[in-house]
Amino acid sequence: MFQRSAPIVAALLFLSAAISGCSEEKSVAQTAPPPPPQVTVAKPVKKVVTDYDEYVGRFVALDYVEVRARVSGYLDKIHFTDGQMVKVGDPLFTIDRRPFQAALDQAQASIAQGKANLAFAEADLERGKNLPVGTVITQQTLDQRVQAERVAQANVTAAEASTRQASLDLEFTELTAPISGRIGDRRVSIGNLVTGGTSGNTTLLATIVSVDPIRFEFTMDEASYLRYLDAASVKRADSVDRGLSLDADLKLINDKDFVHHGHIDFVDNAINPSSGTIRGRAVFKNADGRLTPGMFGRIRIASHPPEEALLVPDDAIGTEQVRKFVLAVDKNNVAKPKYVTLGPVIDGLRVITAGLTADDTIIVNGLMRVRPGSKVTPQQATADASNPKDQMVRTN
C-alpha cells in the first residue's frame, strides 16, 4: 500500500514546488521598476532675431474730399459709377449750364456797351480840350467831360470783372475730381436743385478718398516710444526726426503673417497726459486698393536691433505656478529643471531671453512623461537643417 502511494506523493511535492517557483518569479516581475521613459531631446536653435512690438489701429486716407458745388442750379448730368476709381480732373457732375451761359453773354455785352460809352466820352473830352476855355467852353463843362471819361473807363473795368465772374460760374457748372481715389455713391439724383456757394448750407454731392498710398494710425505707450527713438538713432544720426526712418510691417485680420511693408512717417508732438500714449502713423503702398480707410489692422515695429537668441518650441516649456522651466538632460540622462524667461514667438519657436545656454540639451517632446530628477531615455531630434522648427520636433 505504501509502495503504491509513494509515486503519487512525489508528484504532488514536485507540482507544489513548481507552483511556488512560478509565484516567486511573478512577484519579482511585478516589483521590477519600469524603464526610463523615452523622450526627444535637442539643443536650442541659435538664430539672429528681431524683437517686435505690435499695435492695433485703423487705416485712414491721405486725402478726403467732399464734392460740393460752387454755384446753385439743377443737376443735369452724372459722369461716374458709384464706387469707381477716379483721377484728378475726371468729370463728375454737370449743373445746367444755360443760365450761366446767358449771364456770361450778358456780361460780355456790358463790356461792349461800356467800351462804346468810353469811346464817346474820350472823343467828347478831346474836342473840349481843343476849344478855348472861357469863351467857347467853360471850365465846368470841361471838368464834366473829364469826369464822364473816367466813369466810362471804370464801367468798362467793372464789366470786364463781371465777365470773368460769369465765366468762372459757367466753369463751376462742371464739377471734376480734385484728387485721385475712390468715389462713393451719388447723394443727389439728376433733376434736383443743388445749392452751391461757400456757406455751410451747400449740397453734398459725393465723397472721394485717396487710396494709394494709405496711412495707418495707432497709439503707443511712452516706454515704447523711447525705445523707437533709440532704435532710430542707431540707423540715423539725426534722431530728432522722431523715428521716421523705422520700417513697419502690417497684417489684416485674415492675414496669417505681416505681408504689408511700409514705414513710420509721423509721430505726434506730445504725449497724451490722460492716457500716457502718443499717436503714430505709418504709410503703406496700396496699388490694388485692398486696404480701405476705416479697416482694422495690426502693425509691428522693431523695438531693438537684430541680435542672436536661443529658441525652443513651446511644447518644451513647462509651468510651475508663475515660473516657466525646461527640462535639461545631463550626461547621466537625468532630467533637471532650468527656469527660463520667455520672449516672443518667432517662426513658430519661443525666444528664451534668460536661463538657458546654447550647450544645454533639453526635452522637446515627452515633457509630460518625465518628473524632474528622474532618468530618461533620450532620443536625439533630427531634421532638415533649413527648417529651425523641424530640427527640434522630428525624430528618427
Q: What is the CATH number of the domain that holds 380?
A: 2.40.420.20
CA distance 228 to 231: 5
Is the residue at 95 inside a domain? yes
Residues 57 and 86 in one domain: no
Number of structural domains found in the chain: 3
Q: From the CA atom positions of the chain, what is the Rg in Å? A: 45
Residues 197 and 85 in one domain: yes
Residues 201 and 160 in one domain: yes
Residues whose CB falls within 8 Å of the CB of residue 320, separated by 6 or more in sequence, listed in order: 337, 339
Last residue of a domain, one of 281, 302, 323: 302
Is the residue at 139 inside a domain? yes
Residues 327 and 274 in one domain: no
Strand partners, 206: 67
Query: 316 and 310 in contact (C-beta within 8 Å)?
Result: no
Q: pLDDT at position 394, please? A: 47
Last residue of a domain, one of 155, 174, 209: 209
Is the residue at 103 inside a domain? yes
CA distance 283 to 211: 11
Residues 146 and 168 in one domain: yes
pLDDT tens track for 22-34? 555 555 455 667 8
Residues 78 and 166 in one domain: yes
pLDDT tens track for 4-26? 555 554 555 555 555 555 555 55
pLDDT tens track for 285-334? 999 989 999 999 999 988 777 888 899 998 899 998 889 999 999 888 89
Residues 239 and 269 in one domain: yes
Q: Average pLDDT in the 80-88 region?
A: 95
Specify the CATH number for the domain of residue 268: 2.40.30.170
Residues 364 and 340 in one domain: yes
Three state DSSP letters for 200-264: CCCCEEEEEECCCCEEEEEEEEHHHHHHHHHHHHHHCCCHHHCCCCCEEEEECCCCCCCCEEEEE
CA distance 12 to 30: 27
Which residue type occupies 28?
V
- Dig out the grid coordinates for 155 from the structure: 464801367
Is the residue at 229 inside a domain? yes
Last residue of a domain, one of 209, 237, 260: 209
Specify the CATH number for the domain of residue 131: 2.40.50.100
Residues whose CB falls within 8 Å of the CB of residue 119, separated by 6 or more in sequence, listed in order: none
Residues 97 and 146 in one domain: yes
Residues 323 and 258 in one domain: no
pLDDT tens track for 155-191? 999 999 999 999 999 999 999 999 999 999 999 999 9
Residues 110 and 145 in one domain: yes
Q: pLDDT at position 219, please? A: 94
In angstroms, the first-to-last Cα distance of the chain is 71
Is the residue at 89 inside a domain? yes
Is the residue at 10 inside a domain? no
pLDDT tens track for 197-212? 887 789 999 999 999 9
Arithmetic mean of pLDDT over the chain: 85
CA distance 377 to 349: 24
Is the residue at 8 inside a domain? no
Is the residue at 19 inside a domain? no
Prediction pTM value:
0.68
Residues 316 and 276 in one domain: no
Segments forming the whole domain that contains residue 158: 64-209
Strand partners, 66: 207
